[in-house]
Structure 1
Amino acid sequence: MLLDTHGRIARDLRVSLTDRCNLRCTYCMPEEGLRWLARPELLTDDEIVRLVSVAVTELGVTEVRFTGGEPLLRPGLAGIVARCAALAPRPRLSLTSNGIGLARTARALRAAGLDRVNVSLDTLRPAVFRALTRRDRHHDVIAGLDAARTAGLLPVKVNSVLMRGVNDDEAPELLDWALRHGYELRFIEQMPLDAQHGWQRADMVTAAEILEALRARFSLTPEPSTVRGSAPAERWLVDGGPARVGVIASVTRPFCRVCDRTRLTADGQVRACLFAREESDLRTALRSGAGDEEIARLWRTAMWGKKAGAGLDEASFVQPERPMSAIGG
């Protein structure tokens, strides 16, 4: 197992397949983009499957989420999914995407063994989408969501980040839209993971503000904490249920105490925490001929030292050097 000194066991693996993205969201990266990883630095398809196999068969991982950057930009994605779906025991497989490209890939990914998707969509207004992402692709995201639902990648979850003065008035509108289309909406507090290091707590729309805006139109009943488990989202039944809405309050109501995640970057580094400043190199071990037992030992060592919390409220907190696009969600 991937046990740490605080008694937490990591069973949820986030695998970044690429640091590249076809959007330029203002809260993530500058308009000109970033210096992408060179191809030799990236894990190959075989290396990704090998590490996922070690995590599943040797370390007790039961959930695998493919992330980016934008994972749909990874050539051979369907093949990676199919090979991971063939592992025994079979992990649950999901994908976090910006939705661009899902309209043409959702069916193939479902056939390969993908179980569900999370799609990022911060606004229902095309003009606001253009301002936030610096790309005119709102229609592609909407089409991708519809294709994911039609393909059976269920539940389709929608992740939304609200920005003060930009889209912070859209919370009720987004929830109403999600309910009508059968999507599960998750609001996420903006986190200090932007490449520009320009995040300011005062500019962040908090979970409390989001819930206040939603309650102006909907009745929200909190789910029992026992239902939440280690999930990052606190969830509420909407108007008595069964529909639900979630809020991931990583900054104001962190869930570090029950975190069960381990992360693998596109260049083969293990991160024990999203906000960690330390990484453990598995790629070098892989390419040096290490066996599965040695890789598992290195991974266990990396997770054993996981800190109790992200430390966002501590005066000593320093934002990670890598932005979210290079870490994986």
Structure 2
Amino acid sequence: MTAVPVVLRSAAPARAAAAMPVDGPLVDTHGRVHRDLRISLTDRCSLRCTYCMPEQGNEWLARSSILSVDEIVEVAEVAASLGITTFRLTGGEPLLRTDIAEIVARLAALRGPDGPVEIAMTTNGIRLPELLPDLVAAGLRRLNISIDTIRRDRFAALTRRDRLDDVLAGIAAAAASGLRPLKLNAVALRDVNDDELVDLVAFAVEAGAEMRFIEQMPLDAGHTWDRATMVPREEILAALSRRWELTPVPGRGGAPAETWLLDGGPRRVGVIASVTAPFCGACDRLRLTADGQLRNCLFSIAEYDLVPALRSGTGPRATAIEERLRACVWGKLPGHAINDPSFLQPPRGMNAIGG
């Protein structure tokens, strides 16, 4: 296997580090308290979505670089002690990890200052029918399942795999499991699925789920993102408004999605408009890549390396992990600057960063 080169593992600026808190919650220089850690378990996936990665020629992370269960839990223990209350497992496709149930169980056993943590997962759903009972028993509490189209021809073209039946079976298993809220995610793509937005919401309603549309972001491995192919928030809402009356739901907090009631509720739809309506001011999320790099923003070009703290074998590891967590948060910028001419797309693709 060929390891993907990881670039720019930087620390917080020296002028900010002098004032960095050494106790209390994980807070950045803009007063944002961080309570959500997204943990990527692998960069591999069973699909090849066109907006995420090429069909062939992917350079996967070396297996030796992927964090073990013990290493993931070690980081999570420190994060929970510092006020992280939600751990979301992502990928790539997290269900490709053969130890996924053990990971969920050990993370679900953690407690922070405010009590037990919550374990969530974002998945393509393909392995849910066989794995979901064990995951629920292990402590999984919330699920997001990605599905960009419910048309077989489009699904095969978009994902380069004929696996729609498997994804639909996964959604059915999740709907029957009682895990709520159940959310379905779709990236809205011009001339690909933008005529299917109403159908996707209707499908989600039938499944007892909340549909969430995501503006396409510059996170593809091939760096081919084009703003013209993105369906913006206002177009999504306009299309849905022709079918339902949309009532905004207040109290969004740090959630990435704005939500609306459909015809007065209780069913909802969400939109994650990272490009046209950024929500950076309330962001409370950190990310841990599968190979042990902390990221304070999905679009960051800087990473904070936890591997030395986890594998050096010397010194108090929890202290070193906490220092890196605090430095990562303290170095967070006010926003991602996608709409600024100086914006640089992250070197890693979305599958290697973690959703």
Q: 1 CA distance for matches of 2:274 and 2:188? A: 14
Q: CA deviation at 1:223?
A: 1.1
1:31 is matched with which residue? 55
**Which letter maps to 2:90?**
T
C-alpha distance after superposition, 1:92-150 (max 9, x if no partner): 11000011111111111000000011000000101100000000000100100111122
C-alpha distance after superposition, 1:195-236 (max 9, x if no partner): 110101111001110000000111100112xx2111000000
Q: 2 CA distance for matches of 1:200 and 1:147? A: 35
C-alpha distance after superposition, 1:270-308 (max 9, x if no partner): 000000000000111111134212210121011101000
Query: Is residue 14–residue 67 contact of structure 1 (8 Å, CA) maintained in 2?
Result: yes
Q: 1 CA distance for matches of 2:45 and 2:57? A: 9
1:51 is matched with which residue? 75
Q: Does 1:78 align with 2:101?
A: yes
Q: Does 1:279 align with 2:303?
A: yes
2:256 to 229, 232, 237: 232
- Secondary structure in structure 1 of the residue aligned to 2:105: helix
2:324 is matched with which residue? 298
1:148 to 159, 171, 174: 174
Kindly report structure 1 stretches of 4+ aligned residues shifted beyond 3 Å. Answer: none
User: Paired residues, what number?
Assistant: 326
- Secondary structure in structure 2 of the residue aligned to 1:257: helix
Q: 2 CA distance for matches of 1:280 and 1:234? A: 30
1:192 is matched with which residue? 218
Query: Is residue 175–residue 207 contact of structure 2 (8 Å, CA) maintained in 1?
Result: no
5+ residue gaps in structure 1? none
Q: Does 1:245 align with 2:282?
A: no
Q: 2 CA distance for matches of 1:193 and 1:42? A: 21
Query: Is residue 107–residue 148 contact of structure 1 (8 Å, CA) maintained in 2?
Result: no
TM-score, L = length of structure 2? 0.90
- Fraction of identical pairs, as percent: 59
Q: CA deviation at 1:151?
A: 2.0
- Secondary structure in structure 2 of the residue aligned to 1:127: helix
Q: 2 CA distance for matches of 1:84 and 1:90? A: 10
- Secondary structure in structure 2 of the residue aligned to 1:52: helix
Query: Is residue 24–residue 33 contact of structure 1 (8 Å, CA) maintained in 2?
Result: no
Q: 1 CA distance for matches of 2:265 and 2:174? A: 23
- Secondary structure in structure 2 of the residue aligned to 1:93: strand
TM-score, L = length of structure 1? 0.98
2:147 is matched with which residue? 121
**Which letter maps to 2:326?**
R
Q: 1 CA distance for matches of 2:252 and 2:78? A: 27
Query: Is residue 145–residue 156 contact of structure 1 (8 Å, CA) maintained in 2?
Result: no
Q: Does 1:322 align with 2:348?
A: yes
1:172 to 198, 205, 212: 198
Q: 2 CA distance for matches of 1:87 and 1:165? A: 45
Q: 2 CA distance for matches of 1:275 and 1:45? A: 26
- Secondary structure in structure 2 of the residue aligned to 1:192: coil
Greater shift in the superposed pair: 30-39 or 105-114: 30-39
C-alpha distance after superposition, 1:11-47 (max 9, x if no partner): 0000000000010000000111511111111101100
- Secondary structure in structure 2 of the residue aligned to 1:241: coil
5+ residue gaps in structure 2? 1-24
Q: 1 CA distance for matches of 2:68 and 2:39? A: 13
1:16 is matched with which residue? 40
Q: 2 CA distance for matches of 1:4 and 1:232? A: 18
Query: Is residue 54–residue 222 contact of structure 2 (8 Å, CA) maintained in 1?
Result: yes
- Secondary structure in structure 1 of the residue aligned to 2:132: helix
1:217 is matched with which residue? 243
